[in-house]
Chain A
Amino acid sequence: MSDVVLVVGEADGDGLAEPTREAVTVARRLAGSQGTVLGFVAGRGASGRAAGFAAIGVGQVVVADDPRWDAAPPAALARPVAAAASNAGAFAVVVGGSSFGRDLVGGVAVALGASAANGVTEAERIPEGVRVRRPVFGGRATEERRLEGGRAVLSVRPHAFPAAEGPPTSLRPEPAPNAEPAPAQLAPARTAVAAASRGAGPGLADAAIVVSGGRGLRSPEGFRLVEELAEALGAAVGASRAVTDAGWRPTSMQVGQTGRTVSPQLYIAVGISGAIQHLVGMVSSRVIVAINSDPSAPIFRVADYGLAGDLFELVPALTAEVRRVRGS
């Protein structure tokens, strides 16, 4: 039985993105103490990124040092990744649960003749392959699935696992096997990137803490209370649809059924009633705090900690307390 797991590395500047380090944690668990975790990087400067793998103890890295990958869509890597996995005899390919990873999984599975799952919160090696667990129906249920057929491709739900750490090892790069995508697959090109509009804070999708505000904030000015608390916590800012529909804040901040799905370590809902369309976007957060003046608001049913009271008093006090304990 093979004991090799391939992890596809996503770039973040010159280094490896956080979701990739979470994928390495899962790959190590699957490979077991005797197994091998192999890295894969592509694009110009891939060798630099390979060093990011070595820094967390993954020394063996397949490198596709080819500038064509820089502007190409993530899915164009499906065939090269599948070829590298095949070549190494890997029984699993694991990627982080970012947009990069989620765009890649389906194509790799088809190219490899493997089964696949996105957004897993557990992964375990079993004789038939890999067993995964993942939230479904907007976090209202979980499913367990057996990925059979000897090969499995999966992406890891953000924040469900700790990011892998060292000790560092020496880098042993290997050239990627020669595998071309279909010519058309390289045709779409990225022409520009605009950094997230709220440049200061972390992005909503990968923040460890999210503070969201709702209609209870009453006005665009009132919404600043939420942003101040987020800043003190180093958190990303989210909003309910009541806020984005009213134009207080951009739609990109909306959490819920028609907005983003987040699953941070900590979600703080301020002046949000907890409509089902909002809940589906955040119920799988690890710890939920709700601040609302109405003790019977549905948000308290999914929250772990509740403060019933006036947010205009509670939030400034909380911001001050956070600043105090964090010593700023």
Chain B
Amino acid sequence: MEIVVCVKPVPEAESRLRANASGTAPDTDGVKFVLAGYDESAVEQALLLRQAVPGSKVHAVSLGPPSRTDEVLRAALALGSDSATAAESDAPPMADPIATARGLATAIAARGPCDLLLFGKQAGDDEEGLVGGATAEALGLPFVGFVVDLRFDAAASRLRFRRSVERGEESWESPLPLAVGLQQAWNDPRTATLPAILRSRKAPLARHAAGPGAAVAAASVAERFALPPPRQGAKMIAYRDPQQAASQLVRLLREEAKVFP
């Protein structure tokens, strides 16, 4: 099974969040870009499937300028991916996800066969969760999101999985090829070993120009990026006894916050 995992560079969780000078996007000055958390789980899922299905290969693909993609591709290699492809584009970090999807689709099609295409649930920065479905459509692949517990039934030559949604858990099956948006980190992603990290530093990265492929007529343009004014902190309710605390809170929720039926 040829498994392709799309991985996105996102600002490190600990980095300070603030708007850029024009107030249109997050400031990326001095910010380190790392493999998105959900994508790390997607890599783990790919490696587990490779282990279960002999002869499988795992390929990581990332779109963006080399200054951001190379770091996360090497991280995917250090974890155990067999190859890594950079779809080069000068897109800013929170670029139009549909353009990103088109660029990824071009790179994936050019890379080679793809039986299973994996995406993390969403990126920790823009939280769009759009790229999986859009890339699949651009490749004419079926797409299923919110997937957990993905397994390959070799005897039936089918993927079996569950989809965790509002009204419960659905069971699904599908032949290959399939594109999947994983719901979350059910797996505990492995950590790369030091020798693997060192090897990944020198590993070759395939490069593919995604620039023109990513350009589409329709585009979304970032206009404003703002941190909310800090919440003022809770209005602390003073009370004599628990009963009085409860009745005060219910009154405030009803009359002031207007959320209580």
Taking Cβ atoms with an 8 Å cutoff, the residues of A that contact B are: 12, 73, 75-76, 78-79, 98-100, 102-111, 113-119, 131, 134-138, 140-151, 182, 184-197, 203, 205-206, 209, 234, 251-252, 257-259, 265-266, 286-290, 295, 300-309, 313-314, 316-318, 320-322, 325-326
| Least CB separation from B257: chain A residue | A287
Instruction: Report chain B residues within 8 Å CB of A306.
Output: 234-237
CB <8 Å contact, A305 and B171: no
Q: What is the distance, in angstroms, from B234's C-beta to the closest C-beta of chain A?
A: 3
Taking Cβ atoms with an 8 Å cutoff, the residues of B that contact A are: 17, 19, 25-26, 37, 94, 96-98, 101-102, 124-138, 140-146, 163-175, 177-178, 181, 184-186, 216-228, 231, 233-237, 239, 242-243, 245-247, 249-250, 252-254, 257, 259-261
Whole-angstrom CA separation of A136 from B93 in the bound complex: 13
Q: What is the distance, in angstroms, from A229's C-beta to the closest C-beta of chain B?
A: 10
Main secondary structure of the interface of A (DSSP, over half): mixed
Q: What is the distance, in angstroms, from A124's C-beta to the closest C-beta of chain B?
A: 11
Q: What is the distance, in angstroms, from B149's C-beta to the closest C-beta of chain A?
A: 12
CB <8 Å contact, A146 and B173: no
Instruction: Report chain B residues within 8 Å CB of A117.
Output: 128, 130, 220
Q: What is the distance, in angstroms, from A288's C-beta to the closest C-beta of chain B?
A: 8
CB <8 Å contact, B172 and A190: yes
Instruction: Report chain A residues within 8 Å CB of B216.
Output: 113, 149
CB <8 Å contact, B226 and A321: no
CB-contact partner of A105 in B133, B221, B243, B259, under 8 A? B133
Q: What is the distance, in angstroms, from B117's C-beta to the closest C-beta of chain A?
A: 12
Whole-angstrom CA separation of A138 from B10 in the bound complex: 13
Q: What is the distance, in angstroms, from A99's C-beta to the closest C-beta of chain B?
A: 4
CB <8 Å contact, B145 and A99: yes
Starting from the known contacts A117-B128, A289-B249, 10 additional A-B residue pairs (CB-CB under 8 Å) come to A99-B145, A151-B218, A187-B175, A190-B170, A196-B168, A209-B259, A251-B186, A305-B234, A307-B237, A325-B254
